[in-house]
Amino acid sequence: MKQFKVATIPGDGIGKEVVPAATDVLDTVAEIHGGISFEFTSFPYSCEYYLEHGEMMPEDGLERLQEYDSIFLGAVGNKALVPDHISLWGLLIKIRREFEQAINIRPAKLLSGVQSPLVNPNDFDLIVVRENSEGEYSSVGGRIFRGKDEIAIQNGIFSRRGTSQAMNFAFELASKRKKHVTSATKSNGIYHSMPFWDEVFEEVSKNYPHVETDSQHIDALAAFFVTQPERFDVIVASNLFGDILTDIGAGIMGSVGIAPAANINVNGKYPSMFEPVHGSAPDIIGKGIANPIGQVWTAKMMLDHFGEEEIGSVLLDVIESTTHDRILTADIGGVYTTQEVTEEIITRLKERA
């Protein structure tokens, strides 16, 4: 029996509603699998915690979290209690940075029965691998001559290590999927970093002769996400390009409430963190109508990360069978509650056993 120790941080708002739903689903997954189990430990780090303690998590918070195989997070943010930059930097970004979660992955797939805003979405199923620690999001640079003659310089940081790490991850992932990697570049406009990005991509791709590649400028790629998303499998992108692409990905899926994500620690020194794309959804807190699919699909990504890909794909099949049969929450045009959708997923999982 393999036991996975998971730190859960429900956080704020609907995080408190969808995390318990998803851990119930995971307990059912363990039950029907037979060979795995989960030990969940819940941490109260949130904006309410901040009001009480003056910090988003205790000083030894990271040390405590480090003991777990992974972190399963709901959403953080409650502007009425704490400014967003404090809650974000005090918890989420701290964990991502300190635990060297250098890669962010976000799938975008059309679920049967869910209406995409695209008129003709076809059957897309792609995943963006975003370099998550360097690139355009650096603090290197500065401003001089404040006032009329002011100059601002913002440097991008592209290391061979960070770049090839993201690319290797993308190729490994593609090897288990449709065996195609698209590189998001802009080497026609960005003079230094993007030609370097292209070179590293070329180098890394040589180690994966069975994976097809192509390279697209980010502007054209953004348009293709809207016009032909079905042509992509795995896309590897720098921090900024990946940030923008993944939001288009979530957009074409039909609701932010169904989109999953993972922050991956590649060197194995620290736990990875799994969190849906959506936030705390203050407008629907307590109504019982939050879509649990984003969090449950995120749980599927955690299963994949643990090497339990077979049961992970069963879980995604089951999620899709419920949307196909239109057991939907309000954000995707249905009338069902968080609890009803969750129970339906659990029932169908048991039927599959």
Could you list the residues that contact Mg ion (CB under 5 A)?
A: 243
Q: Please tell me whether residue 252 binds ligand NAI under the rule CB under 6 A.
A: no
227, amino acid identity: T
Nearer to Mg ion among residue 243 and residue 340 (C-beta): 243
Q: Which of 331, 341, 345, 346 binds ligand NAI (CB under 6 A)?
A: 331
Q: Nearest approach, Cβ of 223 to ligand NAI (angstroms)?
A: 25
> What CA–CA distances, in Å, run from 225 to 28, 124, 135, 212, 259?
35, 9, 22, 19, 16
Nearer to ligand NAI among residue 135 and residue 279 (C-beta): 279
Name the DSSP class of 311: H
Q: Beta 2-11 vs 70-75: how paired, if at all?
A: parallel
Q: How far apart are CA 190 and CA 240, in angstroms?
A: 13
User: Contact 229/124 with Cβ under 8 angstroms?
Assistant: yes
Q: Which of 27, 39, 67, 84 binds ligand NAI (CB under 6 A)?
A: 84
With CB cut-offs between 5 and 8 Å by kind, which of Mg ion, ligand NAI, none does residue 77 bind? Answer: ligand NAI
Q: Please tell me whether residue 278 binds ligand NAI under the rule CB under 6 A.
A: yes
Q: Nearest approach, Cβ of 242 to Mg ion (angstroms)?
A: 9
Nearest to 173 by CA among 100, 264, 110: 264
- State the burial class of residue 195 (Cβ atoms within 10 Å of its Cβ: 0-12, 13-18, 19+): middle
Q: Please tell me whether residue 273 binds ligand NAI under the rule CB under 6 A.
A: no
With CB cut-offs between 5 and 8 Å by kind, which of Mg ion, ligand NAI, none does residue 244 bind? Answer: none
Q: Nearest approach, Cβ of 253 to ligand NAI (angstroms)?
A: 12
Q: What does the DSSP assignment read for 282-302? A: GGGTTSS----HHHHHHHHHH
Near ligand NAI in 23-82, by CB under 6 A? 75-79
Q: Please tell me whether residue 288 binds ligand NAI under the rule CB under 6 A.
A: no
Site residues (vs ligand NAI, CB under 6 A): 14, 75-79, 84, 92, 256-257, 275, 278-284, 290-291, 294, 329, 331
